[in-house]
Structure formats: structure tokens, C-alpha cells
């Protein structure tokens, strides 16, 4: 009965492959109830041979517009292990053509199911970022790092780019039972999975971890049950620091532990050790899944020294579904006191330029590269200091999380500090201003000047010229964010 269409997808979690199929089905008017999706690894033939076969290749020229939120949702849902995910997404897509506001109805069974799957995937991806620990290995071509990880969902491709930004200068592999990711310092490739025995078990890095963890350990904040709930035992097993916890929790005070063990590293020494080691991505075992989680976890952050002198960390601000994410350098004096980004003099310049470019500040997610104010006291004043590379790198943990959650199609970096953090390499703003650089969530990054630069220009004519160009850069970011918004 050839009314039915059977689709076998080669990849477990490939958005482009699913998208190509979905576009063809939609263009041919194939209703969801006539389709049967399966992944190549599953043996079941849904229609018992009685269906037309649609291969994933081929495409259609038709422009299919969907709400932007659908694209992000689909990318996440596809990474879930649930066998119904391909069909669920096609059903949603089909229904969206009749009701463009469908995704807003959270009580709808399909919307609810898709959101639940997407949330589980995001959570698993955060866990991978937090709990991957690299071990050093020597190979014929030199030093490399290998980590073993056991994710529940198909998140390796989705999450590996995070590690390329974080550990761009080293060669590493992350091995999982299904897939492995390899970075040679330039390109990211993926291969088959392997077994735990294929990976090294222990090395000197573990010791650094343990020293570091001991130095930041705070028994008053230890919540073993919460940690266990957060961190399934399979992750727990692979974490060197987890072996310390029973002993540390018996020790009432950090000092007692230090004097007994004889290690007594200063927090600064341990932090330096950790910062110099690959795999030391997450100093504290915390669960951070939403922007609110970030805002509160940030207040505990001691990844660098800036927390000591700043009033409070300043988290990003704006809607989680923003199409445009703007990254500044760091909070200034007024931001530090108010706890909000861009409320001081540079913020006023930015606000005016946003308005001129037709961008509603409330629609943008606005954040900073470094979340604590860095300054030198001079009399009663606090003089802004540029964050250094290690502070930028330490704080990228938070920026990457914000970018991951917001997943805006356009990220705009203001100035060289933000550009470095967003692109993961040092750049000269004038060299790349106005160029759209593809990033790993399917969107683009743009770079422009920092608005504070306009305040510093002594020459009025030059200031006017730069400001006009700045507004144009903002316009370009707006246009791109609107364009990329809704094409399936």
C-alpha cells in the first residue's frame, strides 16, 4: 500500500539529514501519519515492506519558513535516544504549517514531548562539559589527551565544539561507546565509539585535580545526595576528585585536611595548576541548566581572582530565546554596583546606537566576557583595567554556557576582548569587522568596536564616523538575526 513512506536515516542525530527528508516530505504533501521513520541501526521495518522508500538525499528548492524556536528545538530533540524523535519532529513541522504559534502552546502533547526531550539533551550536554576529564597519553606524534565518557543521548557532535574552544591548543579525543570526537588542533573529526578499556585510566593529571578539589572544598556546602542526583554514578566513577569526597567530608575544616594530608596547596597554587591542565573545565560540581542557574551559580564563582574585589558578578540579561546575543568586555563601576550589564556610560552609548539601528534592547541577550569588574583603586575612584587572557579564559566557562542556552543565530562581540572569547582566538577587530563567521550552533558571530571606544575618541569627526559605522554594524546584526530566523 504505497500511500505509506518509509524513511531510513543514516545518522542518529544529524539535523541536516532529517531536515532534507522533512523538506521533501513536506513539499510532496506527505502527511505525518503516512510516514515511518527509522534509524539505520534499528532492525524494525515499520511498514513490513509495504511502503515507498524515501532516501535522505535530494532536496527541494521550496523555501519553508518555520518559527526560529523550531530549528533550535529540532536540533536538540534529534540528539535524544528516543526512537520516536524523527516522527515527532515531522509531525510538529507539519502542524506548524497550519498553526505557526503551535510551539507557544506548551500544553499541546507534541510540544510538551519535544520540549521534554530537548531539555534532557541540554542537560546531558552540560554534564558532558562538566564531567569530562582528560588523561594525558604519549603517542608517536607527541602528547595528546583522551577522555572517556558515557552519555545517555547522541550528544557528542553537539557538544564537542565546546571542547575545541576550551582546549584549542592541544590534541584530544573524547571517546564514548557510540561515537568519538578528535581534535588535532585545527579540525574536529568524528569516528566510531570504543570501549572504556581503550582509554587510559589514571595519570598525573588526576593528582592535580585532587589537589585542586581539596583546596576549593568547602564542607559547609557539601550536599552529597544532591551531587549524586546530579551526577549519575557512571560519571562519578570517572571523576578523580570524587574519590576525595568521603575523606574530605569527614574533615570539618579545610585546614584540618591540609595539615593531615601534608598537601596544603594554596587555593591560588591549585588554581594555577588546574588552569594549566586540559580537562579542568569545571571547578565545582554544580548543576547549571538555565539562565537563572547561571545567575546564581556565578555569585559563587572563584575561577579567577577578580571575585575577591568586585561587589558581585554581573550575569547576562535578556530573553533566553533572543535572536541576537551581544557580548561586551566586563562590567564597569556602575554595572558592578547595580549587578546589571551596560547601565553606565558605555551602556548609554550602546542604548542610543541600538535604538538607532532599530533594535529593542529588551529583545537582546546582553552579557559580558568577564563577569566581575576588574579595577585599580585610585583615591575614591575605581579605574577600569582590561581583563587578561587567563581571566578571559576562566570566565569563558560562563559565556559559553550562556551562549549555549540562548543559542542565538547571531552573536555580536563588542571589542577585542569579546571577540577573543567568542571566536576562541585573538583577533584584530579592524581585520574582521563586518564579516560573518560561522559558529558551532549553526549561527554566525560578528565583531564590531566596543561602545566605550567611541567615548575615548578625541577627534569629533572620527568619533562621528566610527559611530555611524557602529550603528551600521548593529543593523547588520539585526538583519542577519531576522533573516536566519526561520528557514528550515
Residues forming the site for ligand URA (CB under 6 A): 328-332, 335, 341-342, 344, 346-347, 368, 452
CB of 369 to ligand URA, least distance (A): 8
CB of 299 to ligand URA, least distance (A): 17
The residue among 240 and 332 lying less far from ligand URA, judged by its C-beta, is: 332
The residue among 224 and 455 lying less far from ligand URA, judged by its C-beta, is: 455
Coil, strand or helix: which one is 307?
A: helix
Radius of gyration from C-alpha coordinates of the chain: 24
How many Å apart are CA 47 and CA 92, to the nearest integer?
22
CB of 385 to ligand URA, least distance (A): 12
How many Å apart are CA 10 and CA 25, to the nearest integer?
17
Whether residue 421 contacts residue 383, with contact meaning beta carbons closer than 8 Å, is answered with no
How many Å apart are CA 147 and CA 131, to the nearest integer?
10
CB of 344 to ligand URA, least distance (A): 6
CB of 129 to ligand URA, least distance (A): 25
Coil, strand or helix: which one is 148?
A: strand
The residue among 121 and 392 lying less far from ligand URA, judged by its C-beta, is: 392
330 phi and psi angles, rounded to 5 deg: -160, 160
- Any residues with CB less than 8 A from the CB of 107 and at least 6 apart, and which? none
Whether residue 425 contacts residue 396, with contact meaning beta carbons closer than 8 Å, is answered with no
Whether residue 33 contacts residue 90, with contact meaning beta carbons closer than 8 Å, is answered with no
CB of 342 to ligand URA, least distance (A): 4
- CA distance readout (Å), 324 to 92, 104, 158, 365, 461: 25, 20, 21, 6, 30
CB of 267 to ligand URA, least distance (A): 27
Whether residue 188 contacts residue 177, with contact meaning beta carbons closer than 8 Å, is answered with no
The grid cell for 486 is 526561520
The residue among 297 and 337 lying less far from ligand URA, judged by its C-beta, is: 337
How many Å apart are CA 321 and CA 68, to the nearest integer?
9
Residues counted in the chain: 488
Number of separate helices (H) and strands (E) present in the chain = 19, 15
The grid cell for 129 is 562539559
The residue among 25 and 447 lying less far from ligand URA, judged by its C-beta, is: 447
The grid cell for 76 is 536538540
Residue of minimal Cβ distance to ligand URA: 328
How many Å apart are CA 446 and CA 418, to the nearest integer?
10
The residue among 72 and 332 lying less far from ligand URA, judged by its C-beta, is: 332
How many Å apart are CA 420 and CA 381, to the nearest integer?
28
The residue among 70 and 342 lying less far from ligand URA, judged by its C-beta, is: 342
CB of 470 to ligand URA, least distance (A): 14
Q: With residue 325 as reference, give the H or E element that holds it.
A: strand 324-328
CB of 164 to ligand URA, least distance (A): 25
- Longest Cα separation, the chain: 84
How many Å apart are CA 103 and CA 430, to the nearest integer?
41
Whether residue 317 contacts residue 249, with contact meaning beta carbons closer than 8 Å, is answered with no
Which letter, b or e, does each residue of 225-243 get, where b requires 16 or more Cβ atoms within 10 Å of its Cβ? eeeeebbeeebbebbbbbe
CB of 181 to ligand URA, least distance (A): 33
In the block, residue with C-alpha cell 552529597: 224
CB of 462 to ligand URA, least distance (A): 21
CB of 384 to ligand URA, least distance (A): 8
The residue among 178 and 351 lying less far from ligand URA, judged by its C-beta, is: 351
The residue among 129 and 372 lying less far from ligand URA, judged by its C-beta, is: 372
Amino acid at each position: 500500500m504505497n500511500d505509506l513512506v518509509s524513511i531510513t536515516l543514516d545518522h542518529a542525530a544529524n539535523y541536516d539529514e532529517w531536515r532534507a527528508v522533512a523538506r521533501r516530505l513536506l513539499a510532496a504533501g506527505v502527511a505525518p501519519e503516512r510516514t515511518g521513520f527509522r534509524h539505520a541501526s534499528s532492525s524494525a521495518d515499520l511498514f513490513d515492506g509495504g511502503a515507498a522508500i524515501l532516501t535522505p538525499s535530494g532536496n527541494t528548492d521550496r523555501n519553508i519558513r518555520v518559527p526560529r524556536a523550531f530549528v533550535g528545538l529540532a536540533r536538540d530533540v534529534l540528539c535524544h535516544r528516543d526512537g520516536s524523535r524523527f516522527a515527532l519532529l515531522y509531525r510538529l513541522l507539519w502542524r506548524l504549517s497550519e498553526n505557526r504559534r503551535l510551539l507557544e502552546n506548551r500544553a499541546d502533547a507534541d510540544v510538551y514531548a519535544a520540549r521534554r526531550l530537548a531539555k534532557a539533551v541540554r542537560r546531558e550536554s552540560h554534564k558532558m562539559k562538566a564531567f569530562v576529564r582528560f588523561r594525558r597519553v604519549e603517542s608517536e606524534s607527541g602528547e595528546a589527551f583522551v577522555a572517556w565518557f558515557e552519555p545517555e543521548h547522541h550528544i557528542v557532535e553537539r557538544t564537542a565544539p565546546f571542547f575545541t574552544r576550551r582546549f584549542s591548543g592541544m590534541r584530544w579525543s573524547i571517546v564514548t561507546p557510540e561515537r568519538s570526537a578528535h581534535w588535532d588542533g585545527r579540525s574536529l573529526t568524528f569516528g566510531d565509539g570504543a570501549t572504556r578499556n581503550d582509554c587510559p585510566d589514571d595519570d598525573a593529571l588526576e593528582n592535580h585535580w585532587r589537589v585542586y578539589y581539596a583546596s576549593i572544598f568547602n564542607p559547609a556546602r557539601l550536599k552529597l545526595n544532591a551531587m549524586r542526583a546530579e551526577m549519575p554514578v557512571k560519571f562519578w566513577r570517572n571523576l578523580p576528585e570524587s574519590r576525595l569526597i568521603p575523606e574530605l567530608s569527614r574533615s570539618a575544616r579545610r585546614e584540618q585536611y591540609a595539615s593531615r594530608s601534608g598537601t596544603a596547596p594554596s587555593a591560588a597554587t591549585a588554581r594555577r595548576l588546574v588552569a594549566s591542565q586540559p580537562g579542568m573545565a569545571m571547578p565545582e560540581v554544580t548543576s547549571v541548566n538555565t539562565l537563572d542557574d547561571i545567575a546564581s551559580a556565578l555569585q559563587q564563582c572563584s575561577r579567577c581572582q577578580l571575585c575577591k574585589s568586585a561587589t558581585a558578578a554581573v550575569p547576562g540579561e535578556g530573553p533566553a530565546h533572543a535572536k541576537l546575543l551581544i557580548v561586551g568586555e566586563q562590567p564597569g563601576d556602575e554595572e558592578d554596583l547595580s549587578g546589571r550589564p551596560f547601565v553606565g556610560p558605555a551602556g548609554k552609548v550602546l542604548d542610543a546606537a541600538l535604538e538607532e539601528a532599530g533594535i529593542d534592547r529588551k529583545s537582546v541577550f546582553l552579557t559580558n566576557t568577564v563577569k566581575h569588574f576588574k579595577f585599580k583603586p585610585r583615591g575614591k575612584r575605581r579605574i577600569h583595567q582590561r581583563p587578561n587572557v587567563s581571566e578571559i579564559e576562566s570566565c569563558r566557562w560562563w559565556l559559553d554556557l550562556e551562549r549555549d542556552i540562548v543559542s542565538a543565530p547571531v552573536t555580536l562581540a563588542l571589542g577585542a576582548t569579546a571577540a577573543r572569547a567568542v571566536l576562541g582566538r585573538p583577533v584584530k577587530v579592524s581585520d574582521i569587522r563586518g564579516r560573518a563567521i560561522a559558529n558551532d550552533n549553526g549561527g554566525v558571530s560578528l565583531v564590531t568596536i566596543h561602545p566605550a571606544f567611541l567615548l575615548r575618541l578625541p577627534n569629533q569627526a572620527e568619533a562621528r564616523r566610527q559611530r555611524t559605522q557602529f550603528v551600521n554594524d548593529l543593523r547588520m546584526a539585526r538583519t542577519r538575526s531576522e533573516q536566519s530566523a526561520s528557514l528550515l
